[in-house]
Structures are given as structure tokens and as C-alpha cells.
Amino acid sequence: MIPLKNEKEIGIMKEGGKICAQIFKKILEEVRPGISTLFLEERAREFVKKTQARCAFLGYQGDEKKPYPACLCTSVNEELVHVPPSDKILKEGDILKIDFGIFWKGFYLDMARTVGVGKISPEGRRLIRVTKKALKLALKKVKPGNTFGDIGNIIQRFVESQGFNVIRDLCGHGIGKNLHEEPKILNFGRRKSREQIKEGMVFCLEPMVSCGDWKIEKTKDGFGYKMLDNSLCAHFEDTIALTKRGYEVLTKIK
């Protein structure tokens, strides 16, 4: 069953989304060659501490059956998602995926961005541009009467038309009082398949795209995922609410 949120609940999530995006913007401003991903984690904790929110991921126990050790997920190059920060130093040309969320007044918010570290390759720039546009195209399908299959279909068709692949073993998700709720939102599929989109739904759309094959494997830390063929990959994510006024991106960076 997909939980629906009322106007008051969506209002609280909108507040949280604004705080989440403001913190994320500050984190992005810290990205540069020569720093460690652990440095970004330390800065993220400082930023969160200045608000009344708390980190969504720190201590979160997902499929791994052990608590996640950080506020951020910081995945580099062939690493896709959920890699904990470390003393790994970012280099000129790296592709960095940052995933971050907060818990605000009983509700979770979740977002991710992919950025280049310094000057990156033309392929890296194109990968980021295509993944970002896939999310933008998906938003156009967020309306009552459409389905989550419509969203997956437009992401897949666009990404594959650009010569890339969508990752098939991970997906977007509902969000609210729990970090991960129903439905599972695939980045591929057939039109008019899966659940129908309805007013009151709040969910995370998150295209994940690879330059190579779509197959993934676990990283050595036990939390993250990387591309099996070590190809470059990208990830964008926003928390979206569908209200009577249409869709709203709750985690929009301004």
C-alpha cells in the first residue's frame, strides 16, 4: 500500500526539503580536488548541527543489516551509490555522487547530485548532463492518471537514445515517515504499467545511469554499489510531492 500525505504533512516535508537543499548546496560548494570525502562528511555534520534536523542516513539500517556510519554517501567514478565517506582524496577529473537526507519533524527527505571534481572529461560532462535531463523529463510525467511505468519508460528511452544505460537493480522509492516506502520506482519499464500516480503521493525519483553495462556489484565496504565493468556512472535524486496544484520538487536547490 502506498501511503498518501495530507496537506499539512506535505507542508512539513516542504519545510524539511528546503532545509535539506540549503545544506546540500553548502556541501557542493566544498567539493574540490585535494580534499577527502571524509572532509565533506565533517562539513555536512556541521551544517546539520546548525539546524533542528538530523541526518537521515546516520545509523540507518537497511538491507545490509548493520547501521550506516555516516550522514553522506560519497561515491566516486565507477562507484554508484551508498559508499561511506573515507580518507579517499578527490582528484581532478573525478565524478562524485553525493547522496544526502535529513529527518525533519517526523518526516524524511532525500536527494542526490553528481558533480565533476575540477575539470572533467567530455564523456563525464555528457553523462552528468544526460542523467540530470532524465530526471527533468521524468518530472513531466508526474500527474494524476499517469503511472510509475510511464516515468520509468521515459527515463529509459531517453538515456538509451543517448548511448547510455539505466541501472536496473536499484530504484527510486516512496518517502515520508519512513526513508523507504512503497512504491518502488524503476528507471525502466513499459508505459501504463505499475502503480497509478495519485495526489498526496510523495516519492523520490532517482535516475542512475552508466556509460557501460548496467550490472552492479557490492563495494568492499559492504554498503555501497559499483559498476561491475568499472564504467563511469551518475545519479540524481529529488523528493517530489504531488498536490492539487501539480508536482512540487521539495528538495530543489536554488
- State the CATH number of the domain containing residue 164: 3.90.230.10
Alpha carbon distance 205, 78 (integer Å): 21
- Does residue 63 carry a pLDDT above 80? no
Residue 253 in any domain: the answer is no
What pLDDT was estimated at residue 61?
85
- Is the model's pLDDT at 116 over the cut of 90? yes
| Residue 111 covered by a domain | yes
Query: For position 128, what pLDDT does the model report?
Result: 98
- Checking if the pLDDT of 106 tops 70, the result is yes
Specify if 251 maps to a domain.
no
pLDDT in tens, 122-157: 999 999 999 999 999 999 999 999 999 999 999 999
Task: Please tell me the predicted confidence (pLDDT) of residue 65.
Answer: 73
Residue 131 within a domain? yes
Residues 78-105, buried b or exposed e (16+ Cβ, 10 A)? bbbbbbbbeeeebeeebbbbbbbbbbbe
Cα end-to-end distance, the chain, whole Å: 33
Task: Work out the average pLDDT over 231-246.
Answer: 97
| 124, part of any domain | yes
pLDDT tens string 149-196: 999 999 999 999 999 999 999 999 999 999 999 999 999 999 999 999
**C-alpha grid cell, residue 15:** 519545510
* Residue 42 included in any domain: yes
> Which amino acid makes up residue 76?
V
Indicate whether 99 pLDDT > 80: yes
Asked if residue 1 belongs to a domain, the reply is no
pLDDT classification of 220: cutoffs 50, 70, 90: very high
Q: 64: pLDDT confidence band, cut at 50, 70 and 90? A: low
| pLDDT interval class at 100 (50, 70, 90) | very high
Rounded Cα gap, residues 146 and 212, in angstroms: 30
Mean pLDDT of the chain: 97
Position 104 in a domain: yes
Q: How many residues does the chain have?
A: 254
Containing structural domain, residue 182: 7-244
Which string of DSSP letters, residue by residue, matches 177-199?
SSSSEEEEE-SS--TT-SPBP-T
- In 3D, which of 111, 115, 136 has the Cα closest to residue 125? 115
Number of domains in the chain: 1
Name the band, by pLDDT with cuts 50, 70 and 90, for residue 79. Answer: very high
Strand order in the sheet with 238-243: 181-185, 172-174, 202-205, 238-243, 246-249
